[in-house]
């Protein structure tokens, strides 16, 4: 492990309470064959395991594919192994009960984009739970969060068509809420360039959505006049149903784009950006950065101030103050 002022950059004194007195960063695994550590980041504390998805790779017949990797964190060096599933182009993911992962599948030319449930035990059985909006296929479902009422909220940008592995889009760039218990699905937010990461505040009164429109994912070009921002919405109840209101610009990422997004139990907002992980207060003040060369697409909290940062070919463990806990699992 190493402590370095070059890694933990303080913008506001409040960041000291986040990083603690001796923050560290440790390289857990490195895989040069392909960028294995890109998205998801789903931590299961009981087994001390982590599930991650790769960036796009070229598979047999020059077809694009994504690998899913299971990381055993209980040993040093960590053990990691690719697992075989039929989830097409897996991306974001979240814990779904004690022994399942809910994965976003971006889909393929022949397989639907949607939400897949995967068992965390071999043979990693999968099931497509939701694959369309009243018959219209999703574009390339990207990231997901589960509300305590059981509803599932997810983003659906058009990356798949831009990157050549999905048919032309049939839906706008939107955020959806699906209730598995009733089968009801609604579009709850639109007006994005490319909606990407999504999370709730600890009290679930605010939804944060990242917009990564600045990068054209088809050819990788960057257009600075397009947004690289986080938007916040208040959750209001009308006629017994939730609506997203008071859309506001929460923060803009100056380096790269804000991709995956999470909150800690104090309401601070963390997002993977072009220079690592940026951290804002609930009021939108940039508190500090965890600088990781090459940037971070996504990450997740572990136990007692741990963060597992996905850095394409590298997986890092960041140790913040032990009091820091992720809002998702409260650990």
Residue 3, pLDDT > 60, answer no
1 assigned to some structural domain:
no
283 assigned to some structural domain:
yes
202 assigned to some structural domain:
yes
Identify which has the larger pLDDT, 5 or 314: 314
Number of neighbouring beta carbons within 10 Å of residue 59: 11
331 assigned to some structural domain:
no
Give per-residue pLDDT as tens, 177-228.
999 999 999 999 999 999 999 999 999 999 999 999 999 766 778 999 999 9
Q: Which residues span the domain enclosing 283? A: 8-319
41 assigned to some structural domain:
yes
324 assigned to some structural domain:
no
CB 6 within 8 A of CB 58: no
Burial 175-200 (b: 16+ CB within 10 A, else e): bbbbeeeeeebeebbeebbbbbbbbb
Residue 59, pLDDT > 90, answer no
d(CA 138, CA 253) in angstroms, rounded, equals 27
Residue 273, pLDDT > 50, answer yes
CB 212 within 8 A of CB 230: no
Q: Where are the alpha helices (DSSP H) in the chain?
A: 15-19, 159-162
What is the percent of the chain where pLDDT is above 90? 94
Q: Residue 1: pLDDT band by 50, 70, 90 thresholds? A: low
Residue 236, pLDDT > 50, answer yes
31 assigned to some structural domain:
yes
For the chain, what's the residue count?
331
pLDDT of residue 5: 66
d(CA 129, CA 97) in angstroms, rounded, equals 14
State how many domains the chain has.
1
329 assigned to some structural domain:
no
pLDDT of residue 60: 79
CB 298 within 8 A of CB 38: yes
CATH number for the domain harbouring residue 35: 2.120.10.30
Cis peptide upstream of residue 48 (ω within 30 degrees of 0): no
d(CA 326, CA 300) in angstroms, rounded, equals 8
First and final C-alpha spacing in the chain: 22
Mean pLDDT of the chain: 96
pLDDT of residue 220: 77
Give per-residue pLDDT as tens, 99-142.
999 999 999 999 999 999 999 999 999 999 999 999 999 999 99
């Amino acid at each position: 492990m190493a402590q370095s002022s070059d890694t933990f950059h303080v913008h506001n004194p409040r960041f000291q309470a986040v990083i603690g007195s001796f923050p560290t960063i440790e390289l857990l695994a490195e895989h040069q064959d392909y960028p294995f550590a890109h998205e998801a980041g789903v931590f299961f504390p009981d087994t001390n395991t982590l599930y991650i998805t790769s960036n796009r790779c070229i598979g047999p017949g020059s077809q694009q594919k994504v690998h899913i990797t299971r990381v055993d964190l209980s040993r040093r060096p960590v053990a990691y192994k690719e697992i075989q599933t039929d989830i097409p182009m897996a991306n974001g993911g979240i814990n779904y009960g004690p022994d399942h992962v809910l994965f976003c599948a971006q889909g393929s030319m022949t397989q639907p984009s949607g939400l897949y449930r995967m068992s965390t035990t071999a043979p990693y059985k999968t099931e497509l739970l939701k694959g369309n909006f009243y018959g219209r296929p999703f574009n390339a479902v990207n990231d997901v969060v589960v509300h305590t009422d059981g509803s599932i909220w997810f983003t659906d940008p058009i990356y798949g068509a831009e990157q050549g592995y999905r048919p032309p889009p049939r839906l706008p760039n939107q955020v959806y809420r699906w209730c598995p218990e009733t089968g009801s699905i609604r579009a709850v937010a639109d007006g994005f360039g490319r909606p990407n990461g999504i999370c709730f505040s600890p009290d679930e009164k605010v939804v944060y959505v990242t917009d990564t429109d600045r990068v054209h994912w088809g050819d990788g070009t960057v257009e600075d006049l397009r947004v690289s921002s986080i938007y916040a919405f208040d959750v209001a109840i009308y006629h017994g149903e939730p609506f997203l209101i008071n859309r506001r610009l929460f923060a803009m990422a100056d380096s790269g784009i804000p991709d995956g997004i999470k909150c800690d139990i104090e309401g601070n907002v963390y997002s993977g950006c072009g220079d690592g992980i940026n951290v804002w207060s609930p009021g939108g003040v940039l508190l500090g950065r965890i600088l990781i060369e090459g940037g971070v697409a996504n990450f997740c909290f572990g136990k007692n101030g741990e963060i597992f940062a996905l850095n394409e070919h590298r997986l890092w463990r960041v140790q913040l103050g032990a009091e820091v806990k992720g809002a998702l699992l409260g650990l």
